Chains A and B, each alone.
Chain A
Amino acid sequence: MIRFVLGRIGFYALVAVVLAFFTLPLLWLVTAPFTADPTYEVRVPLPGGGRGDGGTAAFTWDNFRAVLEHPYALPSLYNSVLLSAGTAALVVLLAALAAYALSRVRLPGRDALLYVLLLLSSIITGTAAIVPLFQLAVELDLIDSRLGLVLILTGGLLPAAIFMLKDFMDSTPKSYEESARVFGASPLQIVRHVVVPLVRPGLATIAVWAVANVWGNFLMPYLLLSDVEKQPAAVITYTLYTEGGQANLRLLSTFGLLYSVPVVLMYLFVSKKYGFRFHGGIKR
């Protein structure tokens, strides 16, 4: 009995430590932007705080004003939106078409093709492919171009996206489409009326996954975009230093908060609107 209690206590202590390990950075992220002189400590921002009493700091909006006045901060967030939205749209469109064809048309060697695609895309990571990709972009005159970056990011995400979506489409019964076909629907009508609504949760998943991937991608835009005005937030974060070469915690924390909020909002929105659900209609 005592051993059991001690075991429980030990287990929860361990959980608490692990939880604190992951919670502290998040707490810092939501508190530091509102403190007048952010340090690496987590302190509660309070009006009139920070006078020697530990755990509090003076509350301020000044950090946000500083970010707004920074010449590249807000444009970089706009660039991030542009890049991730463009990539997500391309990935969803192309992956949906490819996955539908791969799921519905019997091709010799289809499964082998899919596995090779997935295998190669996971072996050859972005870092290993960066030199040839860079050269390719130079040859095609797509260096320092947002379009070029979107195309390259799309190419990187497509194999996994096709693989996931194909699986999703395989699990959608064919009889829906056949039924529409017998009623005289054209292939395009079948896709619009039946297939897209049925796989919408899958498409939403792929879109969110693509956005999250591009949003957090540092290496590709850092190497392929040289114009600082075109660079996304992930790269701009890297430039937020003081004149002395120290990390500018005021800008970094505030910009970090602004950088995370859209992704969280997107997740909440998509999960509410498209969260996985199945209405039935096929008797099992």
Chain B
Amino acid sequence: MAAIELRGLTKVYPGGVTALDALDLVVPDGEFFALLGPSGCGKTTLLRTIAGLEAATGGAVVIGGRDVTGVQPGERDVAMVFQDYALFPHMDVADNIAYPLRIKKVPKGARRGKAAEVGARLGLDGLMDRRPGQLSGGQQQRVALARVMATQAQAFLFDEPLSNLDARLRLEARTFLKKLQRELGVTTVFVTHDQAEALAMADRMAVMEAGHIRQIGTPAEVFQRPANTFVAAFIGSTPMNLLDATVRGDTLEVAGCKVPVPASAEGRLQDGERLVYGVRPEYMAYSDGPADAALAGKVAIVENLGASYLVTLDVGDVAVQAVVPEGREPAVGSDGHAVPRRDRALVYRDGELV
């Protein structure tokens, strides 16, 4: 068990592309940490640099208090699950799980025993003499997990651990993975491009964009108070409303409507300032009749989300979205009023949270 610490970590590819730009990050011992970002943001490069598969151009990687920046991957005491699992096709499940032990020169009998033990814990008993090609996607994933568990490494690294599973299996695996990490208590960093996955599994997460970390925090913090408009737009299954606003005394003028200044920004805005007003569709109170401090407009689209509806209002010439509980969804073309929750609304100055 060990903490992972990155100090000014930089990776520049030979072509001159900066994949990581002086990143600082501390993942405390035992934490389940998510690296989230769109494809090409450098999250996988970061994970591979921690593993030692990519050499850092600058900065340091410290695992368990030991600077491992120049150390070979095999001597960093980390274990990694690859996106494609990389199970050896010519070995059976038991040999795959036992492979790290074979490298450590554990005798054959002892390592088969250990493999059977770890495999049984992940529900793989009965599959031990199959080849990876004869397993389902979910079983392959569990073999890959069993293999890293067999290493008893100080930290685990997962590269998109769920992306190769079917949608339904993915939800199951998400719960399973979180439970397993909690039981093992091993520091784990995982990479994902799916914000729902990061929110659901991680203890803490970092949102990355173009080689920079844009926000670090718990899923709740990142969801409720995105530090900038990039994170605000990236997190959430329904994207946050980000609307141009102008400060008018103690109110904001948004799309021709007047809304109060959010609680968090009170007294920190200047009259006449132009800002971006952000509020999640989930944090809007919707009503058909007129309401105070509401964004009022015509209902343009109603989308079914299952237990709720996503209503898009045309307010002036901007679109505002609100989530409405089932049974109260309005008809398209009717008048609608969406009242932002004052304690959840945010304002952004030059893209950064005020």
Contacts and interface: CB of A to CB of B under 8 A. Distances in A.
Most buried by B among A180, A183, A186, A194: A183
Contact of A182 (B79, B89, B132, B134): B79
A65 interface: no
A183 B74 contact: yes
Given A280-B133, A283-B85, A283-B140, A184 B80 contact: no
B286 interface: no
Contacts of A283: 84-85, 137, 140, 164
Contacts of A194: 88
B281 to A, nearest CB: 35
Interface stretch (B96-104, B191-199, B339-347): B96-104
B90 A198 contact: yes
A179 B144 CA distance: 10
A182 B131 contact: no
Interface in A33-80: none
Given A197-B90, A281-B87, A183 B131 contact: no
Given A281-B133, A283-B137, A185 B103 contact: yes
B195 to A, nearest CB: 23
A4 interface: no
Interface in A129-172: none
B322 interface: no
Nearest to B100: A183
Contacts of B103: 180, 183-185, 189
B48 to A, nearest CB: 8
Contacts of A200: 90
Interface in A167-207: 173, 175-176, 178-186, 189, 193-194, 197-198, 200
Interface residues of B, number: 32
Contacts, number: 88
B262 interface: no
B206 interface: no
A181 B73 contact: yes
A278 interface: yes
Interface string B69-89: 000111100111011111111
Most buried by B among A173, A175, A198, A283: A283
A19 interface: no
B89 A198 contact: yes
A281 B140 contact: yes
B80 A278 contact: no
B74 A185 contact: yes
Nearest to B140: A283
Given A178-B53, A184-B104, A279 B80 contact: no
Contacts of A173: 84, 86
Given A281-B132, A283-B140, A181 B85 contact: no
A185 B52 CA distance: 13
Nearest to A176: B86
B252 interface: no
A17 interface: no
A182 B74 contact: yes
A282 interface: yes
Given A184-B103, A184-B104, A179 B90 contact: no
Interface string B192-235: 00000000000000000000000000000000000000000000
A113 B9 CA distance: 36
A162 B99 CA distance: 30
B50 to A, nearest CB: 11
B84 A175 contact: yes
B99 A180 contact: yes
Interface of A: 173, 175-176, 178-186, 189, 193-194, 197-198, 200, 278-284
Which 4 A/B pairs are nearest by Cβ-Cβ distance?
Answer: A280-B133, A184-B74, A281-B132, A279-B89
Given A183-B151, A198-B88, A282-B87, 19 more contacts: A178-B80, A181-B73, A182-B78, A182-B79, A183-B74, A184-B73, A184-B74, A184-B103, A184-B104, A198-B89, A278-B89, A278-B133, A279-B131, A281-B88, A281-B131, A282-B85, A282-B86, A283-B137, A283-B164
